[in-house]
Structures are given as structure tokens and as C-alpha cells.
Structure 1
Amino acid sequence: MKIYTSHVPPVHIPDESIFTHLFGTRFNEAQASRPAFIDAETGFAVTRGELKELALSCAWGLREEFAKLGGVQLSRGDTLMIFSPNTIAWPVMLFGAVAAGIRATLANSAYTPREVEHQWNDSGAKVVLVHPALLPVVLETFKGLGLSPAQAKQRIIVADWKVSPETKWSGDFIRLTDILGKGIFRVEEKFAGELSNETAYLCYSSGTTGKPKGVETTHKNIVSVVDIVDSFFTPTTSQDVMLGVLPFYHIYGAVKLLQFPFARELPVVIMTRFDPVEFCRNIEKYKVTFALIVPPICLAMAHHPAVTKFNMTTLKFLFSGAAPLSGPLVNAVRKKLATVGADVYVNQGYGLTETSPTTHLLSLEYSLSKVGSVGQLLPNLEARLVVDDVKDAKEGDSGELWLRGPSIMKGYLNNVTATENAITPDRWFKTGDIAIRDKEGFYYIVDRRKELIKYKGFQVPPAELEAVLLQHPAIVDAAVIGIDSEREATELPRAYIVHAKGVKGEEAKKFAKEVKTWVQKRVAKHKYLRGGVVVVGAIPKSAAGKILRRELKEQAKKEILTEPEFTGAKAKL
């Protein structure tokens, strides 16, 4: 068995709750007056000391005040749902729940009532902290569950703290401001020793195959990832400011924007959602030095005119995750920012919800020499590259990335079968991602195992073709899927592309043919886009930036019925 380790020595991981770790073990009283989080729109800031007090007050409110006001009783070990877009209240709610010993399940703020219903039932949540604007969704969810208005009211806390005055909502519900400031926990609920392996967060996987699964992330998992990333991450100064635009309900945002910066004593400017103009405006306004992003934001930075309308010179580092970032796109972003006097490193890392999330990082010193790499393995983790679930890949060859270490999830909630399929008896987690490791220990994610296209026995990684397509000067986004051809008894690669100027009709068809020929000059024959090229207005993606290939495959199934050259072909599912 070939096991790879990090070039960085292991770090000590204490057995304690993430609250104790952030607000006790690593809390520096001398920095208590330093801003922790800043609302981008209003400039309202919460200091590190204030956040600690607010979280302990929120904990008291959840455990003591809510029931007094008519809500259900919450106890240690219960589960609470947070259903809200990014706001300055998020760190108060999340850390308040943790301090109270309550598990937090984080729901996608774009969810429909039916989707919220699944997560509510599966997670076993007893109460929901909901943004006022999303209250109608929650009420519809509870109605679908058969709860009366009175029963629904017992399970709702409206997160009204510091919301915009323009936010409209109605109804007599218990509010976050009703339970804050009424009392305070003298000390948080402790999870020391073995108790640190109790679940703290329940994020849900993307759900591209089957219903979303609840990922049990423990206190120890989060403490581990905060500390192993800290030992590897770029040095920071008291002048550094982070821009927080990634959704907090996603593990990437929840850990890397709400918890890691707090450990590093870095202020985070919170944006509700990504908007290219506001993103650039906030970089200028708050003198932002670095931001955590996803590939769609990189695309915007490479092409949107807002980049040239604001002072971007304080920006020095963009860190991308959640989905593959190609070398050509990295270079395009750096080139665009250079035109406005900003010398910016654009790096990426790797991780999954199941790994809490980060397992690999590319250091700044390798930004150019290892462009396209997700970096090196973090300390305290082990990795394998496995072929067909049975043998190790040869040196330099690709294989499925398996990982083991203290940041790997406990398992999937209420799903023993899925957990056993994902984690081996000796605790190796099968990521489902195909990776290559070079001689210097840098990893490259080349595709998802389940997304590899097989053309007459040859493997065709969609991510590789997408990277090629993005090198075309007129293409701003791309996705590749496989369609099954009964005529040729094989799969055919099919591309969906977005033209920079949004061409349509005959012009789009002509451009698609040109691209098909253009690609043939740049790839091996088995990678030709024999399944066709389609120009679309946008590539469907999740909030975390992952391509929603299932949507494209459903679209392809309908399209090929009207394309004579593909009669007898069907989209691969």
C-alpha cells in the first residue's frame, strides 16, 4: 500500500469544542477590540470581544429564553437549522448554537419548501433560525409537514438582528432580538476528550445524485482543519482584510470565512451575495487584501468591466476552492488585474464537505510554477491514489484520491450504507475525485470518477476539455458531459459553451462548428467533441460553483432527439 504524507510536520490537535478552541484556547484578549466581522453594506462591525459575548448570550437565549416565550425546549445535543443568506447575524447564530451544545444544520438559502422539508426531517431539527425574507418558505415547509400555525410558531426564531430596515415580513413570531441580551452563559458547553467527536455541524452534500446526505462534522473535525490550515496558510498581518462572499451555509464558507479568519484574528467583510460591481466596490472601500472565491467569480474577474472601475491595488491574493480552477483562467484573471495595477496571486486548494473541508493548499511561492495544481497535502493527513478500488496507481499515474486523518467526517447521518460505501473499515475516505501527484508532491484533480467519459476504451476527463475550451478568446465558460451513442457503442464528449458576446441563432451554430474544429487542433483524437458543441447563455452551477452536469444531461437528452447526426444517442446518466 502506497501512502503519501505531508511535507509539513504534524501539528497538535486539542480534543475540545470548536467554541472553546476559538474563544478560549486561541482567543487573544489583547485583540478583543479588533473587528471580527463587518457588514459590507452598512459598515456595522462586531469586535472579537463583542462576538464572544453575543454568542454566549445567544446560547442562553436558545436554551433558556426561547422556551419561556412559548418555543419548544432546546437541550444539549438537539439540532437547530440556520436558514439565511449571509448576514452579520450568522456568526452570532452559529457560535451561539455551538456554545449552547446544540448541533447546527445549515440550509441552502435558495432551497424550496420541499428541499427544506427533506433537510428538516433528515437532520431531526427542532427549531429554525430564519432570515425574515425566507420566513414564507419555512411556513410553507411546516404547512407541508402538517404542522398547525401554532406548532410552526413554536419552532421558529426570526433572525431579525441587524437586518436591513427595508426587509419586509409579517407575523407574531419570536425573534432573535427577543432572546439576545436576556442572560448569558458563564461558560460554554464543553466537549472535551472523547466528546470532541460529537457532531457540531450538519451540512448537506450537493445532491447531484439522489437526495442530499447530511454530513456529520464533529468538533474535532473543525478544530483539526482550522489548525492544520493555519500551519500551512499564507502569512498575514494586522492590515489584512478578507472579503466574505461565499455562502455561509456551505462548509467552505462556514469554516473558511466564519472560523478560520477568527482564529487568525482577521476581519471579514460580509457580503450577502456575489455581485461583480459590489465585489470590486468593497475591495476598494474596505481595502481588502484577499478573498476566498469559486471559479465563477474568477470568470467574472477576468471579464467584467467593474474590475477597471475601482481601486483594486490592495488586493494581493485570491484563493479558489469548491470546484476545479484551470490554469488558463488563473492567467486570465492575473492579467486582467495587472492592467489596473494589482499584482494578485491566484491560487486554489482542495477539499469536500466530508473533509471539513480543506485537505490541500497551493502555497503562494508555487502560484506560477504549479498553476492548475490544488497544492500539497496538509499536515496530519494521509493520501492514497487508488485504481478500481483495489490497487495503488503507479507513480505519476492518476487514481481516485483517498484520504485519512482527523478532519474526515464521522459519517452520513442516518445512512449507514452510504457511509460504508464512502469510508473503508480502516478509515480511508474515498473522495470520488481522480488525481495525479507529481514528483514534488503537488496534486492535480483531473476529474470526478463518476464523470469520466469513456470513448472506445479511452478515458476523457471533462475537466481537461473544459480547460482547453476556456483558452478560446471568445469563450467565457464551458462544461463537458458524455452522451451514449448506440450507433457507435461508446460515449461521446459533448460541450456546452458560453460566448462572451452572447451570440444566438445561426451565428451560434456557426461558432459551435468553429469551436469543434478549433478543439481538434489541441487534443488527442479520442478527446474530439464528437457529441457536439452547444452555445448556451449560462452553465448551470451550484452556489459553490460546481457544474450541475445532471441538468445538462437532461437537456442533452431532449436536444439529441432533434439532431439527426445523433439519432440513437442518449445522455449518459
Structure 2
Amino acid sequence: MEEHLKSRFWFTNRRSPIFHNFSSPYPPIPALPPLNVHTLLFERPPGNTIPRDFVVHIDGLTGETRTYGQFVERIRDCATALATSVSQGGLGIRHDGLEREIIAVFSPNCLDYFVVVHAALVLTVPFALLPSKPTTAELVYLLKKLKSGIDSVRVRLFTHPSLLEQARAATKLADLPLDQIYLLSKGTARSKTIELCSLIENVSKKKLARQAVVPAEKNTLAYLIFSSGTSGPPKAVMVSHGNLCFSTMQSIVGRMEEVRYTPAPKKPIPPARWLCFLPFYHSMGLHFFILKSLLAPNTMIVLPRWDIDQALEVIPKYKISYLALVPSIVHQLVNSPKTSHADLSSVNLAGCAAAYLPPDLAERFRNFLGHSKKGELPPMIEGYGLSEATIGSISRPRPGQYGLYPDPKSTGILLPGQEARIVSEDGTDVDHDEPGELYLKGGNVALGYWGDEQATREAFLPDGWLRTGDRFRANKDGVLYFEDRLKDTLKISGAQVAPAEIEQVLLAHPQGLVLDVAVAGVPDPSSRNDRVPRAWVVLSSAGIALGPNEVIRLLDDWVRERLSRYKWLTGGIAVVQEIPKNPTGKVLRRVLVDGSLQPHIGYFDQLFDANGWNFRIVEKYGSVVKLPMLFGDEELYITDPLALHHIIVKDQYIYEETSVFITTNVLTFGMGLLSTLGDHHRKQRKMLNPLFSLKHMRDLLPIFYPITYDLRDVLVEQVRNGVRQIDVLHWLSRAALEYIGQAGFGYKFNALHDEESSKYGEYVNKIAPILFKTAFLRRFVPWFTKMGTPAFWRTVLENIPSKLVKECIEVVDVLESRSKVIYEKSKKAMENGDEATYEKIGRGKDILSVLLRANTTAKESDRLPEEEIIGQLNTFILAGQDTTSHALTRALHLLSLNIGVQDRLRDEIITARREREGTDFDYDTLMGLPYLDAVCRETLRVFPPLAMIARTARKDVVLPLAWPILGVDGKTEVNEVPIKANTNVIVSIIGANRSKKIWGDDAEEWKPERWLEPLPESVAKAHMPGVYASMMTFIGGGRACIGFKFAEMEIKLVLATLLETFKFEAGPEAEWRMTGITRPVLKNSSDKAAKLLLKTTLVKD
């Protein structure tokens, strides 16, 4: 046995880590041929069959029973009814090369839930289990998720009569046909919905030929089950027949081994009676009650859901012998006064899974059961599993099994056939007793996530390993200990903080002040982008007697005495009535964090979060969402196209720029286009529009070419000098400054060669991050500017002891002084006559020269004063340099990650150049390259440089909607939204650009090819009010980006020139941050400066 263990466990006596996996001490699992799991469960060997008259199912409320024989017959009739053609009275459901269908089950626990699941397995039609108590919005999300997994999939929804109306409402909103809803249990005559029982009766009535069991391969999809969504939107896990067969054999081998280490009973043990209240839509309920209960004669007493009163009545009535529990229910049973006189004497065994069970709570529950059984402590079976590994992976062995005596704090050992690694952050395996992320491998590892390739790549590695997202450690004997969920783990001052550690300290307070507790990270009040620990506690009777304030003080002192400073509850302690958990007991930390918004802050910090890519509020609540913001204000977050059309175009005179935006821009840029409203803005626009016309862009292209070739030559020199990783953002920013300088102002910054000019560009790049970081402070600027003169406030600002404020002043001064130099130079050339102007770059065709000439000849009422022209220069420098360079950088980053796209684009460019015999592209040729245009459009659609803008309603108005939304009751459809005067509305550029209703289920994916074929009809029907390519990237209406053609031409020319010369490959991993304008930074680096390093080589090398 000792050699057997050494061969299976990972560890040796050496202290240094061994970079290999370790495996289960159980015997190996026998190899199975490809098999439908139904065959494995029901076609049993002689001597191991379940008697046909054995009662397998009892409805705990009605008393209805089903024998094993009745159950088997009903499964076969149900499978026949599902597969039989409609003309024969069936549903004609199939999942093969011709039809791809899914059976979705939306119901509380009931007897026919067992039947429809097994019937689907017989047919190899995938089934999907939906939570039985979602909001309508959540149900809509799940149905859309199913529909979007693969093309042309059809969802057949089986529901319970009590949920029929909600199912119909959600089906309608998910754009699914109502005639594909069926009742799992008998409904009322008014429901007019096909019932499963009627379909089954039709099979018997017509004596239809029984449907045979359809063969299954290893990777034949068996079912989809939604992850709990405790930290984000649920994902649908794909579990195959091969996974189910492997998992079933794990249970068989595991049980056979446990019997070897269990003392022989003194008298025969009767078949187990299980209380089935855990939801069947969860992996634990599905496997424990519906699937693996068939491995031996077991009776399932079914309750629709957990109800402590029903459970305490049913347990003695049916002499329940086994309880399958989750920690939240263990907690309730131990602490509820209702259990003090309850009869649980029939319970011989209890198991707990789905979430971490604190050891002291487990011991209290054993003592509780022991008291009910007059001193005998029944065993408590614990383990670990997850839907992505089908169900179980780790279980605590019997004492003495394989010579192991794991302590109560351990999770257990690997189940049969399971392999594992524990991996550090750098990807290497850790030593024993060191925590790291648990990786699992085996035949139970699922196929991936339905319709989510990115999430699949992140969790399911190519070599077969599954990243669990949970932190474990293992001792030298291979016994595993759960530490915490990786997603819950906080990083503070570079150190990892496990919420479970803090929770245990709080629960261990000697006065027993709390019954339940959860810890999660909330925004740090002193640093928006960091998270600090916050605790939510449910008071015990002792805590209630002391009062919340005293309990908070005592708990805070207790934590400070026992934990390091960085683990203190800096985010505070909140007393709550209950800890929100999903039906299997996992804490819904995202609900806690969302509910902890500070009243004076609201969603402000989340909207202005640098990691705002995860702000998925539209996905959760719909296309118009009301958000609490600063000091009790409410703002609307909008992606609905009709609403956007009214805000941006039809009623644009009502929805003006916010006072914060206008005042900030006046102080930063002067009186430019971004700083004016109403008639004043229209006057400026009238003068400037011709300068950005298509005709003028053609005139500017010859000015662009020398700059682009200069950029190319600089990068070639870098590569030939041995630089293999080039910061492309750095060089593209310098080039962008030169484009706006020469084509915009007839001014040569010489930014690609002169370091001083390059530093000026760096100042420009600081503007957007500074404005982002001061978003909170800038909310007060409109108030302050009404008091005192500009000179007064300049003095005040100069004396504020803030590095950020002083940096802002410095940037504004540098920008203003350079713009004045450019203006004076151009003005002087104009005064000296056309000859002097033509000596400038571009022979006077630059935007500023044309503007000055037009301004001179315009009517007096249309002329722009000098300070407004300087304001335009400041505005153009920011818009022309910062946003365009970051959009270009994003495009190169995407091309470096998608080499096939890069190669195809390069081929198009080289072919087009060859057709022109090596000459420069003219404007029409450059703009007409189809794949270049597709890459440009798709990059700007999926990754707009600016994620959102805001407007203020200047009077009461009603905003119509294209898509009805659900009201706060989750049922009422709302078709228009009344808006009060002075309410801010947030136009979500990124939300509109990525709308699945408009762009399809792959809206969030970067697919340039979508532009080479007809777009979905929904794109045209949406009438999105954007000025460019049916998207909102450059806004629309009277305040659309005036220079979008300038930016498009620059992006296309740079890409065409660089890709012809260079090949770009991904460098160090980068993450893009929403700091006003999205910027790349190196991931896991202390250097937070904006940069993107790409491996750059010459194509001809």
C-alpha cells in the first residue's frame, strides 16, 4: 500500500517543488467504450438490478409514488413523445446533423423533472436546466444565452404551471416563439399549453413504437448547466455523455473502495431515503437525486424547494435517512428555534457540498444530529466539486482509508481517475502546504462554455487542465485543503487576502456576536481602482442584545488584534438581516457589493472605474437603466437606439452637454468646439465644417504621406538596431501629433525626432487621464466658477497641495502657450500674403490656414474671435493626437493577437500596391480597400476610444424606446421613460456598439469579416444615430466628431504602410484601462504608464 501511495501522490520528501501533477490514490477507473450514460445507469448486470416494484420517487407534499418499473416506462414513453413527429402527436425534437434543438427545463423540483431529463439523455438531445426563481430579466438572459450558443439552435422550454406566465413573458422578450413552451406538470384548462402528461398518454393511446436509446460518443453533448454567477453573469457549462459516464464510474469505484474501509454493519441496512429539496437545476441536485441515485435502490422524497417547516414534517414522516445539504441550510438547521424539538432520529448520514463549510459549523451540526439520535454522531460526508468538472473531484475519505486520517478542516483526497496540480501565479507548481490555484484533469472535465470561446480558453486549457478558480493547498500526503475562491481573493499592497480567513476570525469572536458573515472587496475610498475588505454580518442573539454599533466596534477591534494591518476591515462592517446566497449556499458577493454603494457616491465609482469593461449593467437590466449617482442624483444609462436618436439628433436642443463637461473644457481648452452650446456652437461649426469635408481630406492626404514614411523609417531603424519589442503607442502618439501639426496647422512639431516636441506630446497624453482621475472633483467646478474671477481661482488652484491639480495646471499652460505660438505664426504668414503662406507645409492647405482665410472673408457676425481660434487649436490637438493614436494602437494589438487577420490584410495591401505599380494610394483607393476598411470599422465598433458621453435634459421630456424594458417589478413592460429637467443621461457608446439586439449574438467579438458580407437586418432597422458606419464611436447629430474622416484616413494610411513593412506579434500581456480614453498598460506590472510592447520584425527578413 505504501508503494501504491507513493506512485500516486505528487509529493516526495524533498522540500523543493516537483513540477508534475498528482493523482488519486483510488484504483484506476475501468475503460469504457463510447456509451450513452442512460445505458450505464439502467442496463445493470445480473444481481445488481433494482426491483421493478421498488418505490424510487415520492412527492413529499402530495404523497404520489412511482416505482422503478413505472419510472422506466415513463422515461421511454416520454422519449418517444419528444421524438415522434408532430403529425403523430409528438414534438419532433431532435439534435443531429439536420436539426439542433435544446430542451430547457424551467421548473421547481417535481416527479416529471426526473423523467424529462432521462428522456433527453435517451435521445441525446441536450437539456439545459434553468433556475426556478429568477427575475424575468435574468430568465431572458439565460434563454438568449442558450439561443446564441450555436447557429440555428431551437430552444424547447418545459415549465411548471406556476411559472408559465413568467416563462411566456421571458420567451417573448428573448425573441423565441411562444408555441415552443410546454408544461412539465398538469396545468389548468385556461393555459392552452401542451402538457407533457398528454404527450405521454398519446404514446400509449396510439401504441407508438418505443424510441430506442440513441448511441452517444464521448463528446456528445448531454446537458448545459449554468454556473452560479456569484461574481458575474452565469455561464453555461457543456457536459458530455463521456463526462457523465466517467463521473458515474468515479462514484462506483469510490463507493466500492469506501466499503472496504467501513466496518461491516451489525444488521442489514435498509435502502436509503433521501430528502430531495436541493434544486434539480444545480449540479448537486441533478447528480445526487436524478442520476446517481440509480446506482443502488434509493427512494427520493421530493420537495419543490427548501422549506424548513416542510422538511421537519417530512423527515420523520418518511423516515429520511440521508440529508444532502449545503452550508446555508446547515447553518439554518443548527440555529433555528424550530429544530429544538424536531425529530431527526432517522437520519443516519449527512453530506454537505456546493460551498465551503466551516469546520466548527460542521461539528455543531453533527452534535445537533447526535443529540436527536441520543448521543450517536452520524458521519458528515464532505467534498468539493464544480459544474466544470461535472460534479465531484475531491472527497474526504473514511478514517484509515489508504492510511490517511485527514483532519476535519481538510477537504479530502482526489476521487478516482482525477489528476490535480496546485499552481502559483507565475504558472509553476507549488510545494506542499503552499496555496495556489487548483487545476484538475480527468474524463469529468467538461467540454467548455456554451457560446463563450474566450471564457472557455481562460478556464479549459489546451492540454486538458481545468482552472478551477479556487485556491487550495495540499499536505505531503496529498490531502487537500480549501483556502478560498481565487475571484474572491483580494490583493492589497501586493499581498493576497482571503475573505474566508477574515470570516473565520469574525465567527470566532468569544462572545459569539454573529450567526453568519461574508467578506468581499469594495472600492477603497482613497483610491478608486483598489479594493479593500468589507464585512457583512448577521447578528446572533448576543449581538442583538449589545446593539449594532457596539458589535461593529468589538468586531473591528477583534480583527485588528488578530490580523495584519492590510487585512483590517478598511471597507467597514455592515449589519444585515441575511447574507444573500444562491440556492446551493454560495455567497452572492456581487449582490453584497452592489448593495453597499455609498449613498453619496452611488454608481459613480463603477462608471468611472479604470477596469470598467466588467460594468455589464445593460446585460443585466436592459437598454435603459436608472443609476443612483452622487448625492442622491439619478442618471439614466442608455443604449436603446430610438432613445439615442432622440438624444443625439431629434431632440438634441433639449439634451445638451453637461455643465461639468462644458466648464471643464472652457478651463482646459478655451472656447473651442467642445466648450460651446446652442447658437454659439452652431456658429463655430458652420465655419469649421468645410475644413473637414471629403474634398479637403483629399487635399490633406499628400501631407500625410511624408509623415507616415518617416514613422516607418524610424521603426525600421529601431528593428535593425536590435530592438525587438517596440512600444507602438509611444511612436504612434508622436506620429499623430505630427499629423495634426502639419495637416491641421501647417506646423512641424518634428515629434518623431525631436525629444522636446515628443515631451509636448506626452503632456497632451496626460490630459484625458487627469480629467478621468479628477471626475469626482470636477463635479463641483460649475459651482465654484460662479464665485470669483478666473484670476482668483487660478490663485486658489495654485495653492492647493495636490500633485494632480498642479499637474493639471502645468499641462493646460503648456498646451495654451504652444497653441498661441502656432496661431501667431500662421497669422503672421497670412498677414504677409499668400506667398509666405505657400512656403508653409502643405502650401496653405492645412486646416488652420484655410480657417484663417475663411474667417477673414466671412461676414462680421460669422467670424470667430482670436481666443476661439486658439481654443479650436487646443481642442484639435487633443482630439487628433490622443484618441487616434490609441485607436491605432488597439488595431495593431488586435492584429498581433490575430495573425491570420494580419496576414490577410497585408496581402490585400501588397496586392493593391502592386496593381498601382508601387505608387502611393490615392484617397479613393486607400479608403476603398475592403479588408482594411473592415478591420478599421470593427476595431472602432468593438473598442471605441471613448466608452461613453453624457447629456443633460434641459426640460421635462418623455424619451421613447425602441425596445420595451421591464419595470422594477420585473413584469411590467415600459415603452417610454419620463425624464425630469436637469437629469443627466449617459450615452453608452460601447454598450450601443456591442448590442446583441443590433449586431447579433457575436456582437462582443472582434470579427472584421462581418463587414465583408451583408450586415444583419437589425443593424439597418436600429437606425443608430451615429455619423459613422451605424455605430456610436464618433457620435452623431450636431455634436458629432467633426474630424472623424481625418482620423479614419490616418488610421488606414498608417496600417497600410506599417503592415507592408512589419510583422507584429504579441509582446508582454497588456490590459486596456478606461481612463477617459482607453489606454493599454502592462498587466501585473508596477509601471502603470500607458504603453504597448509588440514584437516587431521586418516582413522581408
Superposition TM-score, scaled by structure 2 size: 0.48
Higher helix share: 2
2:156 aligned with 1:133, yes or no?
Answer: no
Give the whole-Å Cα distance in 1 for the aligned partners of 2:86 and 2:335.
48
Amino acid at match of 1:17: N
* Cα distance, 1:29 vs structure 2: 4.1
* Cα distance, 1:552 vs structure 2: 1.3
Give the whole-Å Cα distance in 2 for the aligned partners of 1:209 and 1:419.
17
* Cα-to-partner distance string for 1:176-195 (whole Å, 9 max, x where unaligned): 11111333664533334xx1
2:35 aligned residue: 16
Amino acid at match of 1:408: V
Give the whole-Å Cα distance in 2 for the aligned partners of 1:198 and 1:560.
53
What SS does the corresponding residue of 1:273 show, helix, strand or coil? coil
1:444 aligned residue: 481
Aligned length: 556
2:583 aligned residue: 543
2:534 aligned residue: 494
2:110 aligned residue: 87
* Cα-to-partner distance string for 1:320-348 (whole Å, 9 max, x where unaligned): 11111111111221222233225232232
Give the whole-Å Cα distance in 1 for the aligned partners of 2:610 and 2:600.
7
Give the whole-Å Cα distance in 1 for the aligned partners of 2:515 and 2:273.
29
1:164 aligned residue: none
1:53 aligned residue: 73
Choose the corresponding residue for 1:112, options 135, 138, 142: 135
Choose the corresponding residue for 2:361, options 321, 324, 329: 329
* Cα distance, 1:30 vs structure 2: 5.0
1:360 aligned residue: 394
* Cα distance, 1:468 vs structure 2: 2.8
Choose the corresponding residue for 1:383, options 420, 432, 435: 420
Question: Residues 266-281 of structure 1: matches in 2 within 5 Å?
Answer: 266-281=298-313
* Cα distance, 1:484 vs structure 2: 3.8
2:430 aligned with 1:430, yes or no?
Answer: no
Contact residue 412 and residue 481 of structure 2 kept, 8 A: yes
Contact residue 6 and residue 376 of structure 1 kept, 8 A: yes
Question: Residues 161-560 of structure 1: matches in 2 within 5 Å?
Answer: 161=186, 170-183=190-203, 186=210, 188-192=212-216, 195-233=217-255, 235=259, 237-340=269-372, 341=374, 343-365=377-399, 369-388=406-425, 390-472=427-509, 473-485=512-524, 487=526, 491-501=531-541, 507-558=547-598
Amino acid at match of 1:444: Y
Give the whole-Å Cα distance in 2 for the aligned partners of 1:345 and 1:30.
26
Runs of 4+ deviating beyond 6 Å: 502-506, 568-573
* Cα-to-partner distance string for 1:393-439 (whole Å, 9 max, x where unaligned): 12210110000100000111122221111111111000010001122
Choose the corresponding residue for 1:36, options 56, 71, 74: 56
Contact residue 124 and residue 220 of structure 2 kept, 8 A: no
Q: What runs of 5+ residues in structure 2 fail to find an aligned partner? A: 1-18, 148-153, 263-268, 603-607, 615-1101
Q: Identify if the C-alpha distance between structure 1 residues 26 and 529 changes in structure 2 by more than 3 Å, giving closer, same or farther.
A: farther
Contact residue 251 and residue 356 of structure 1 kept, 8 A: yes
2:705 aligned residue: none
Which one has a bigger Cα radius of gyration?
Answer: 2
Contact residue 406 and residue 479 of structure 2 kept, 8 A: no
Give the whole-Å Cα distance in 1 for the aligned partners of 2:159 and 2:140.
14
Give the whole-Å Cα distance in 1 for the aligned partners of 2:554 and 2:367.
26
| Greater displacement, 422-431 / 326-335 | 326-335
What do you get for the CA RMSD once the two structures are aligned? Answer: 2.9
Give the whole-Å Cα distance in 2 for the aligned partners of 1:303 and 1:403.
36
Give the whole-Å Cα distance in 1 for the aligned partners of 2:530 and 2:71.
57
Higher strand share: 1
2:178 aligned with 1:152, yes or no?
Answer: yes
Q: Identify if the C-alpha distance between structure 1 residues 251 and 157 changes in structure 2 by more than 3 Å, giving closer, same or farther.
A: same
Give the whole-Å Cα distance in 1 for the aligned partners of 2:42 and 2:172.
39
Q: Identify if the C-alpha distance between structure 1 residues 107 and 172 changes in structure 2 by more than 3 Å, giving closer, same or farther.
A: same
Q: Identify if the C-alpha distance between structure 1 residues 571 and 554 changes in structure 2 by more than 3 Å, giving closer, same or farther.
A: farther
* Cα distance, 1:72 vs structure 2: 5.4
Superposition TM-score, scaled by structure 1 size: 0.90
Give the whole-Å Cα distance in 1 for the aligned partners of 2:599 and 2:444.
43
| Greater displacement, 342-351 / 418-427 | 342-351
Q: Identify if the C-alpha distance between structure 1 residues 388 and 478 changes in structure 2 by more than 3 Å, giving closer, same or farther.
A: same
| Greater displacement, 356-365 / 378-387 | 356-365
Q: Identify if the C-alpha distance between structure 1 residues 451 and 30 changes in structure 2 by more than 3 Å, giving closer, same or farther.
A: closer
Q: Identify if the C-alpha distance between structure 1 residues 389 and 181 changes in structure 2 by more than 3 Å, giving closer, same or farther.
A: farther
Give the whole-Å Cα distance in 2 for the aligned partners of 1:379 and 1:539.
35
* Cα-to-partner distance string for 1:472-521 (whole Å, 9 max, x where unaligned): 42311110012343537964321111012497799212211112223344
Q: What runs of 5+ residues in structure 1 fail to find an aligned partner? A: 162-166, 563-567
Give the whole-Å Cα distance in 1 for the aligned partners of 2:569 and 2:486.
20
Contact residue 328 and residue 471 of structure 1 kept, 8 A: no
Give the whole-Å Cα distance in 1 for the aligned partners of 2:131 and 2:541.
31
* Cα distance, 1:570 vs structure 2: 12
What SS does the corresponding residue of 1:546 show, helix, strand or coil? coil
* Cα distance, 1:449 vs structure 2: 1.3
2:825 aligned residue: none
Amino acid at match of 2:190: S
Give the whole-Å Cα distance in 1 for the aligned partners of 2:332 and 2:199.
41
What SS does the corresponding residue of 1:337 show, helix, strand or coil? helix
What SS does the corresponding residue of 1:318 show, helix, strand or coil? strand
Amino acid at match of 1:88: L
What SS does the corresponding residue of 1:196 show, helix, strand or coil? coil
Amino acid at match of 2:93: L
Give the whole-Å Cα distance in 2 for the aligned partners of 1:569 and 1:17.
48
Give the whole-Å Cα distance in 2 for the aligned partners of 1:443 and 1:21.
31
Contact residue 231 and residue 487 of structure 2 kept, 8 A: no
Amino acid at match of 2:357: L
1:73 aligned residue: 92
Contact residue 376 and residue 442 of structure 1 kept, 8 A: yes
What SS does the corresponding residue of 1:141 show, helix, strand or coil? helix
* Cα distance, 1:373 vs structure 2: 2.1
Q: Identify if the C-alpha distance between structure 1 residues 301 and 254 changes in structure 2 by more than 3 Å, giving closer, same or farther.
A: same
Contact residue 560 and residue 569 of structure 1 kept, 8 A: no
Give the whole-Å Cα distance in 1 for the aligned partners of 2:67 and 2:290.
13
* Cα-to-partner distance string for 1:500-546 (whole Å, 9 max, x where unaligned): 24977992122111122233444444433232221100111111211
Give the whole-Å Cα distance in 2 for the aligned partners of 1:169 and 1:329.
48
Amino acid at match of 1:443: L
Q: Identify if the C-alpha distance between structure 1 residues 560 and 152 changes in structure 2 by more than 3 Å, giving closer, same or farther.
A: same
Query: More relative contact order in 1 or in 2 (CA 8 Å, sep 6+)?
Result: 1
What SS does the corresponding residue of 2:190 show, helix, strand or coil? coil
Contact residue 292 and residue 319 of structure 1 kept, 8 A: yes
2:918 aligned residue: none
What SS does the corresponding residue of 2:298 show, helix, strand or coil? coil
* Cα distance, 1:277 vs structure 2: 2.4
Amino acid at match of 1:98: L
2:3 aligned residue: none
Amino acid at match of 1:545: G
Contact residue 67 and residue 74 of structure 1 kept, 8 A: no
* Cα distance, 1:146 vs structure 2: 4.5
